[in-house]
Amino acid sequence: MKSFTFLFFSILLTISTTIRAHEFWLEASSFYQEIDRTTEITLNVGQQMDGQLLPNIPAWYRHFDVITGDGLKPVDGELGRDPAGYLNIKTPGIYAIGYESTKKSVDLEPEKFTTYLQKEGLEKIINRRNELNESNKNGLEIYYRNVKALIKVGDKTEFNFYNYDFNYPLNINPLQNPYELTEGDELRVQLTFKQKPAANLLLHAKIKNKLDFEFSIRTDAQGYATVPLQYKGVWLLHTVEMIRSEQQGIDWESYWGSVTFEIR
């Protein structure tokens, strides 16, 4: 029991110290999986698709599900264990795994808060802080993670959930099946916030184990963006939206969205 308690508080510390790294994503042990084989799903927080693996702590999430032909089902997992979840799918197709976190909070010094806002393309919040005379005030923020991974099981496609919308507050929805695309193609996506098109958000693209690659683009008025798939590999698309909070003692609410998949 003592070892689990130590692990729990160690992970809490890890999360608080890696918040400035920003990226949070789901990763499959194999994005191309054979039928009726176990696929492990890890929770990752870090930078450039490199960081810490987090265990399965149910208090940290509202939903951790996979969409199947029988509807939404909880991802199997054991308390405190990493990998956080695992799947065993017996029908070929494209499946989406979704994770929505509970709220967490952070209090950043003014300079660090501004740097973070600049990195995530949230100049509108910088301008709003100026209007409210809060530029020299700490950034008191609560944040939520809305993330998903897309995997291909088997050679056929009986089910195709590549654009499944989990109805999280922030969603990155591919408009094409990534598993029908290849290196050199383009992927069209739409971002939504609270089920409405998310305009002018800065969408980042990363590739696992390719540290020199990074691509960013802003969504148009309807939340659309096009990502050139210049290389094969495991891709991460991620973005952040922020709004003024109505909660007592909190200034801002942010929502972090990501989607992962593999291009061959």
List, for residues 152-190, the tens digit of each pLDDT value. Answer: 999 988 999 999 999 999 999 999 999 999 999 999 999
Q: For the residues 92-105, what does the mean pLDDT come to?
A: 97
Virtual CA dihedral for 116, 248, 238, 152, nearest 10 degrees?
A: 150
Report whether pLDDT(128) > 70: yes
Report whether pLDDT(132) > 80: yes
Alpha helices in 106-196 (DSSP H): 110-119, 123-131
Instruction: Judge contact between 71 and 65, C-beta under 8 A.
Output: no
Give tens-digit pLDDT for 29-44: 999 999 999 999 999 9
Report whether pLDDT(4) > 90: no
Report whether pLDDT(9) > 60: no
Global pTM reads 0.92
Instruction: Judge contact between 178 and 187, C-beta under 8 A.
Output: yes
% pLDDT > 70, the chain = 92
Strands 32-33, 139-153: parallel, antiparallel or unpaired by DSSP? Answer: parallel
Report whether pLDDT(17) > 90: no
| C-alpha span between 146 and 249 (Å, rounded) | 23
Q: What's the distance, CA 146 to chain centroid?
A: 5
Please state, rounded to an integer, the average pLDDT across all residues of the chain: 92
**More confidently predicted of 75 and 211:** 75
| C-alpha span between 195 and 161 (Å, rounded) | 18
Report whether pLDDT(22) > 80: no
Q: For the residues 11-31, what does the mean pLDDT come to?
A: 70
Report whether pLDDT(240) > 50: yes
Q: What are the Cα distances from residue 133, in Å, to 105, 110, 136, 246? A: 22, 12, 8, 18
pLDDT at 110: 96
Q: Which token pair is 219?
A: 């969504």
Instruction: Judge contact between 233 and 210, C-beta under 8 A.
Output: yes
In this predicted structure, which of 20-29, 73-82, 111-120 has the lowest mean pLDDT? Answer: 20-29
Report whether pLDDT(191) > 80: yes
Q: For the residues 110-129, what does the mean pLDDT come to?
A: 96
pLDDT at 156: 87
| C-alpha span between 126 and 117 (Å, rounded) | 7
pLDDT at 18: 44
pLDDT at 10: 53
Residue 194: pLDDT band (50, 70, 90) is very high
Residue 115: pLDDT band (50, 70, 90) is very high
Q: For the residues 34-56, what does the mean pLDDT come to?
A: 94
